[in-house]
Amino acid sequence: MSINPAAPYPLIRQMNADDLDCVVEIEEAAYPFPWTRGIFADCIRSGYDCTALQAGPSLIAYTIQSYVAGENHLLNLCVAPRWQRKGYGKMMLNHAIRQARLQQCSSVFLEVRPSNPSGIRLYEQQGFFIVGRRPGYYRAADGREDAIVMRLDI
Ligand SMILES: CC(C)(COP(=O)(O)OP(=O)(O)OC[C@H]1O[C@@H](n2cnc3c(N)ncnc32)[C@H](O)[C@@H]1OP(=O)(O)O)[C@@H](O)C(=O)NCCC(=O)NCCS
């Protein structure tokens, strides 16, 4: 689906500590096993690339990226449930890839649950491919779930 031209034009900006209430609310609504407020606060404090997407007064999506030795790791990409399927996930992913390029990274890595077909489809659509699997990486309702590791060469 494409972005609604009548919607307020979204602004991509740096996430800061004042955003944490909104971020945690979205995170808890979007994931069965959400990151805690403390994890996001640590990411901001540690200088990770924390990006927010603002549409009018609302924060509607965010990404967290780290850069290590020419590699970019996309640690979190999330769109608020009521704003999903409107193109914002793709917008934020492409922004993250542009940032990785600007930082002269040669690749972007990420992990995704096999039970997350929307995420996998989005990443494959943007050129990511599967490079491995981390057994029991995630918590799951019935124990643990593997992570699929994906990479984009840039
Ligand atoms: C995965 C997520 C980021 C996608 O964001 P989104 O804004 O809804 O996605 P977009 O509207 O930009 O869609 C881009 C592409 O993603 C895929 N996609 C997104 N939602 C999908 C769904 N429900 N079913 C199938 N494919 C889907 C499609 O390939 C879509 O392209 P298309 O519209 O041309 O078919 C969003 O669903 C989300 O935040 N989910 C919860 C958190 C999460 O799982 N994050 C990823 C963790 S690795």
pLDDT, tens digit, 9 for 90 and up, residues 21-34: 999 999 999 999 99
Helices and strands, number each (H, E), in the chain: 4, 7
Ligand 1 atom with the shortest distance to the CA of 111: 48
Question: 89 CB under 6 A from ligand 1?
Answer: yes
CATH of the domain at 96: 3.40.630.30
**Long-range contacts formed by 49-53: CB under 8 A, 24+ apart:** 49/99, 50/14, 50/15, 51/12, 51/13, 51/14, 51/15, 51/92, 51/95, 51/96, 51/99, 52/12, 52/13, 52/14, 52/15, 52/19, 52/23, 53/10, 53/11, 53/12, 53/79, 53/88, 53/91, 53/92
Specify whether the CB–CB gap between 117 and 31 falls below 8 A: no
Separation CA 150–CA 93 (nearest Å): 13
Domain-located, residue 60: yes
Domain-located, residue 22: yes
Domain-located, residue 140: yes
Ligand 1: residue of 25, 64, 74, 84 to mutate (most ligand atoms within 8 A of CB) is: 84
Domain-located, residue 2: no
Domain-located, residue 6: no
How does pLDDT run across 123-137, given as a tens digit for each residue?
Answer: 999 999 999 999 999
Three-state DSSP class for 102?
helix
Domain-located, residue 59: yes
Domain-located, residue 5: no
- Would you please indicate which residues are annotated as catalytic (active-site) residues? 111, 123
Three-state DSSP class for 70?
coil
| Rounded distance from Cα 81 to ligand 1 centre (Å) | 10
Question: 4 CB under 6 A from ligand 1?
Answer: no
The boundaries of the domain holding residue 144 are 11-153
Q: Considering its fold, how many domains does the chain have in total? A: 1
Specify whether the CB–CB gap between 101 and 70 falls below 8 A: no
Domain-located, residue 33: yes
pLDDT at 87: 96
In the predicted model, what is the mean pLDDT of the chain?
95
Question: 79 CB under 6 A from ligand 1?
Answer: yes
Mean pLDDT on 95-104: 96
CA dihedral 74, 64, 12, 106 (to 10 degrees): -30
pLDDT at 21: 98
How does pLDDT run across 4-51, given as a tens digit for each residue?
Answer: 555 667 999 999 999 999 999 999 999 999 999 999 999 999 999 999
Question: Is the overall model pTM greater than 0.75, yes or no?
Answer: yes
Separation CA 153–CA 71 (nearest Å): 10
User: Which amino acid does the sequence have at 124?
Assistant: E
